[in-house]
């Protein structure tokens, strides 16, 4: 499953990570995490981002 | 999780698998979601048996759930400059990421990725991603290709 994605990731290297909080007017402060990934075979650089929310 | 049956009546339209019950189908959808997240973030999980993944072992899903996933693809074969500008995302103030590098044809290009977060009252929160190529000089009088590093101080 998701073979292309996994293949892409296998040929990528992580250059850096991104971290941030998300402010939405409530007390809870979900997180935003990300990675900057370079794939030299396909000559592209990806920013993968994902937000996480604390379960209630 | 049970394997799909040919005579099943509930279909997972993502994978075209058919299941005997809605519960089995929902489990299948959840596993699809988990597999997608773990394939995007292999450091947080492994691509094998979901029940043995680091996610599950550490109980991460009991504390946090994933909300949004976004990917920005830039046409850069190598990156020479990378700077996260900001530490907090809100609807009013996006987070910026400055990325500079070389394209396939060795031309230096600079991109500004903007990450914002909507907070509409009646809709789910969502990440909004925008990309803008910066053609003007980042620092007056200095060619972007000559900029070695950019640091952000909050």
Task: Render pLDDT for A28-37 as a digit per residue (tens, 0 to 9).
Answer: 566 788 889 9
Under the banding of pLDDT at 50, 70 and 90, the label for residue B65 is: low
Range of the domain at B42: 10-63
The per-residue pLDDT for B11 is: 85
Report whether pLDDT(B77) > 80. Answer: yes
**Hey, what are A15's tokens?**
């250059």
- Domains identified in chain B, total number: 2
Pair (B126, B87) in one structural domain? yes
Asked whether residue B4 is assigned to any structural domain, the reply reads no
Q: Are the beta carbons of B24 and B32 closer than 8 angstroms? A: no
The per-residue pLDDT for A32 is: 83
Q: Are the beta carbons of A31 and A50 closer than 8 angstroms? A: no
Q: Are the beta carbons of A38 and A49 closer than 8 angstroms? A: no
Q: Are strands B10-12 and B108-118 parallel, antiparallel or unpaired?
A: unpaired
Task: Render pLDDT for B41-50 as a digit per residue (tens, 0 to 9).
Answer: 555 544 445 4
Q: Are the beta carbons of B68 and B126 closer than 8 angstroms? A: yes
Asked whether residue B56 is assigned to any structural domain, the reply reads yes
Neighbours of B56 (CB within 10 A): 15
- Domains identified in chain A, total number: 1
* Test the B interface: residue of A13, A32, A33, A39 with most B CBs within 10 Å: A32
Pair (B59, B91) in one structural domain? no
Range of the domain at A42: 3-52
- Which residue from A1, A23, A47 is facing B71, i.e. has the nearest CB? A47
The per-residue pLDDT for A2 is: 67
Task: Render pLDDT for B87-136 as a digit per residue (tens, 0 to 9).
Answer: 888 777 889 999 999 999 999 999 999 998 776 555 556 778 999 999 99
Neighbours of B140 (CB within 10 A): 6
Per-position pLDDT tens, chain A of length 56: 667 777 887 888 999 988 888 876 665 566 788 889 999 889 999 998 887 766 55
Residue B80 sits at the vertex; the CA angle it makes with B115 and B106, to the nearest 5 degrees, is 110
Do B89 and A22 make contact, defined as CB atoms within 8 angstroms? yes
Which one is predicted more confidently, B60 or B148?
B148
The per-residue pLDDT for B58 is: 52
Asked whether residue B72 is assigned to any structural domain, the reply reads no
Task: Render pLDDT for B3-42 as a digit per residue (tens, 0 to 9).
Answer: 544 566 888 877 778 888 989 888 888 877 766 666 555 5
Pair (B88, B58) in one structural domain? no
How far is the C-alpha of B49 from the C-alpha of B38, rounded, in Å?
11
Asked whether residue B68 is assigned to any structural domain, the reply reads no
ipTM of the complex, rounded to two decimals = 0.85
Pair (B82, B131) in one structural domain? yes
Asked whether residue B141 is assigned to any structural domain, the reply reads yes
- Give Cα B14 distance to the centre of its chain: 20
The pTM (predicted TM-score) of the whole model is 0.68
Output the CA–CA distances (angstroms, integers) from residue A9 to A3, B4, B13, in the order listed: 10, 29, 26
From chain A, the residues in CB contact with B117 under 8 A are: 22, 24, 32, 51
Closest residue in chain A to residue B131, using alpha carbons only: A47
Q: Is the CB of A7 inside 8 Å of chain B's CB atoms?
A: no
Report whether pLDDT(B80) > 80. Answer: yes
Do B82 and A16 make contact, defined as CB atoms within 8 angstroms? yes
Pair (B90, B141) in one structural domain? yes
Average pLDDT over residues B63-83: 84
Pair (B54, B113) in one structural domain? no
Average pLDDT over residues B144-151: 89
**Hey, what are B50's tokens?**
């979901």
Asked whether residue B133 is assigned to any structural domain, the reply reads yes
């Amino acid at each position: 499953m998701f073979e292309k994605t996994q293949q892409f990731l296998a040929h990528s290297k992580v250059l850096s990570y991104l971290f941030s909080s998300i402010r939405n007017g409530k007390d809870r402060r979900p997180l935003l995490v990300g990675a900057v990934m370079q794939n030299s075979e396909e000559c592209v650089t990806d920013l993968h981002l994902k937000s996480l929310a604390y379960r209630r | 999780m049970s394997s799909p049956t040919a005579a099943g009546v509930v279909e997972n339209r993502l994978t075209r698998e058919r299941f005997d019950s809605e519960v089995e189908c929902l489990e299948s959808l959840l596993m699809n979601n988990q597999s997608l997240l773990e394939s995007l973030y292999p450091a947080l999980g492994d691509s094998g048996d979901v029940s043995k993944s680091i996610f599950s072992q550490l109980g991460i899903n009991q504390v946090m759930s994933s909300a949004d996933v976004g990917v920005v693809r830039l046409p850069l074969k190598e990156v020479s400059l990378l700077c996260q500008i900001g530490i907090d995302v809100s609807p009013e103030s996006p987070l910026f990421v400055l990325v500079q590098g070389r394209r396939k044809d060795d031309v230096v290009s600079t991109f500004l990725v903007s990450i914002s977060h909507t907070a509409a009252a009646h809709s789910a929160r969502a990440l909004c991603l925008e990309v803008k190529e910066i053609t003007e000089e980042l620092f007056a009088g200095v060619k972007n290709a000559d900029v070695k590093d950019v640091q952000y101080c909050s």
